[in-house]
């Protein structure tokens, strides 16, 4: 059945039935003028929003409705993780062409809840409508934080710079999906990088753990790429961030894709964006305990990639010989 036949009220009933919306802290979910929620006493309220648009943030050729839903949720989960918080409630707005099949809308919400449910996040409200062009989705995510949120401005001279997981996979995945020809690489490599692009895993448990750990200072998620996101920390903290390029944990699969497609793996890792790993700065005396503790609590590996120093706010990338390297600018949403 197509959306234009089901109608808006039919669609809302369907969404409400599929998602439910009761849960801890939800007094009123989907179905009134606004959701009514019960905040945790004494907690900070965290709020973030992301708008994703067909042919800007994804292409229907490569991203199915479930992928779109998943990613729209995941990028917001990652923002809450980047504060050290716990995600709780989501508001989801979706606009599709009128001839969209209702089953595709179901898949969108299935993908979205598949990303959200493991973290106990409930969809408590939203909006639906017709789009004159492609798919448009907006997710707003509310989270909470009992201690102090970790800000971009919290880096201090002397801090070490650390990153979770590996870098470059999502950018490699995008390159594969956009390539004119399928690169000559094993299926599992191509699947891994495509999945990193289409179904990123937000580091929610890792963010919560780091958010309450001793010695963690600035914290951010890698959405726009290491160069840009570390640049935010440097700018907001008023410090210089030095990164030793040979230490970057570039994904083996990303390296393979880079070689097959004639790309620079360093560029994928520093400016590609969308890896949704966590980048943080920490007191050197705490770093061993943090690395071991995070791995033990969540399984995530941590790699030290550089150091914070006083000086002109900005990021310095150094090669093996200690020479500054220009790695480019990261993702820019308006292309001049």
Q: Which of residues 230-259 bind its own copies (CB under 8 A)?
A: 236
- Candidates 18, 20, 27, 296; binder of its own copies (CB under 8 A) is 27
The torsion angles phi and psi of 182, rounded to 5 degrees, stand at -65, 125
Residue 279 · residue 159 · CB < 8 Å: no
Closest alpha carbon to 248 in 149, 155, 322, 163: 163
Residue 320 · residue 245 · CB < 8 Å: yes
- Candidates 130, 292, 301, 324; binder of its own copies (CB under 8 A) is 130
Stretch that binds its own copies, among 32-40, 162-170, 173-181, 299-307 (CB under 8 A): 32-40
Contact mark string toward its own copies, 142..171, x via CB under 8 A: xx-x---x-xxx------------------
Give the strand pairing for 302-309 and 160-164: antiparallel
Stretch that binds its own copies, among 83-91, 172-180, 245-253, 293-301 (CB under 8 A): 83-91
Stretch that binds its own copies, among 26-34, 61-69, 252-260, 280-288 (CB under 8 A): 26-34
Residue 168 · residue 272 · CB < 8 Å: yes
Span 307-336, contacts to its own copies by CB under 8 A: 332-336
- Candidates 56, 117, 301, 324; binder of its own copies (CB under 8 A) is 56
Residue 278 exposed, middle or buried by CB count within 10 Å (0-12, 13-18, 19+): buried
Residue 112 · residue 72 · CB < 8 Å: yes
Report which DSSP code applies to 127.
Answer: E
Nearest distance in Å: CB 256, its own copies: 31
Q: Using CA atoms, how far apart are residues 145 and 78, in angstroms rounded to an integer?
A: 14
Residue 257 · residue 329 · CB < 8 Å: no
Sorted by sequence, the CB contacts under 8 Å of residue 185 that are 6+ apart come out as 256, 257, 260
Nearest distance in Å: CB 117, its own copies: 19
Does 9 participate in binding its own copies (rule CB under 8 A)?
Answer: yes
Contact mark string toward its own copies, 166..205, x via CB under 8 A: ----------------------------------------
Between residues 122 and 199, which has the closer beta carbon with respect to its own copies?
Answer: 122
Q: Using CA atoms, how far apart are residues 92 and 21, in angstroms rounded to an integer?
A: 12
Between residues 239 and 263, which has the closer beta carbon with respect to its own copies?
Answer: 239
Span 269-298, contacts to its own copies by CB under 8 A: none
Cα-based distances in Å from 95 to 11, 47, 196, 310 = 12, 22, 25, 47
Between residues 24 and 336, which has the closer beta carbon with respect to its own copies?
Answer: 336
Residues in contact with its own copies, total (CB under 8 A)? 77
Span 97-126, contacts to its own copies by CB under 8 A: 98, 124-126
Closest alpha carbon to 151 in 90, 79, 97, 51: 79
The torsion angles phi and psi of 106, rounded to 5 degrees, stand at -55, -45
- Candidates 45, 297, 316, 318; binder of its own copies (CB under 8 A) is 45
Nearest distance in Å: CB 153, its own copies: 8
Stretch that binds its own copies, among 75-83, 110-118, 175-183, 312-320 (CB under 8 A): 75-83
């Amino acid at each position: 059945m197509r959306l234009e036949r089901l109608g808006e009220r039919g669609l809302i009933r369907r969404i409400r039935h599929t998602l439910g919306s009761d849960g801890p802290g939800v007094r009123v979910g989907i179905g009134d003028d606004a959701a009514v929620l019960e905040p945790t006493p004494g907690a900070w309220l965290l709020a973030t929003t992301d708008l994703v648009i067909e042919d800007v943030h994804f292409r229907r050729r490569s991203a199915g409705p479930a992928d779109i839903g998943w990613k729209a949720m995941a990028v917001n989960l990652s923002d809450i993780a980047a504060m050290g918080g716990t995600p709780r409630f989501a508001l989801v707005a979706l606009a599709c062409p009128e001839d969209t099949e209702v089953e595709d809308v179901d898949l969108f919400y299935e993908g979205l809840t598949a990303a959200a449910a493991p973290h106990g996040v409930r969809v408590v409200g939203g909006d639906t409508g017709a789009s004159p062009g492609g798919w448009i989705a907006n997710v707003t995510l509310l989270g909470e934080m009992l201690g102090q949120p970790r800000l971009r401005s919290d880096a201090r001279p002397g801090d070490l710079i650390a990153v979770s997981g590996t870098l470059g996979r999502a950018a490699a995945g995008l390159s594969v999906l956009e390539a004119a020809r399928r690169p000559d690489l094993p299926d599992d490599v191509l699947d891994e990088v495509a999945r990193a692009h289409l179904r990123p895993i937000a580091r929610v448990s890792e963010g919560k753990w780091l958010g309450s750990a001793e010695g963690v200072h600035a914290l951010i998620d890698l959405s726009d790429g290491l160069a840009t996101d570390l640049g935010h920390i440097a700018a907001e903290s008023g410090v210089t961030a030095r990164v030793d390029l040979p230490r970057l944990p570039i994904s083996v699969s990303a390296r393979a894709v880079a070689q097959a497609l004639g790309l620079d793996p360093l560029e994928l890792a520093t400016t590609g964006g969308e890896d949704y790993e966590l980048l943080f700065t920490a007191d050197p005396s705490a770093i061993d305990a943090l690395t071991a503790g995070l791995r033990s609590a969540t399984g995530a590996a941590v790699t030290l990639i550089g150091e914070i120093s006083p000086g002109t706010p900005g990021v310095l990338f150094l090669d093996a010989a200690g020479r500054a390297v220009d790695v480019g600018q990261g993702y820019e949403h308006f292309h001049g």
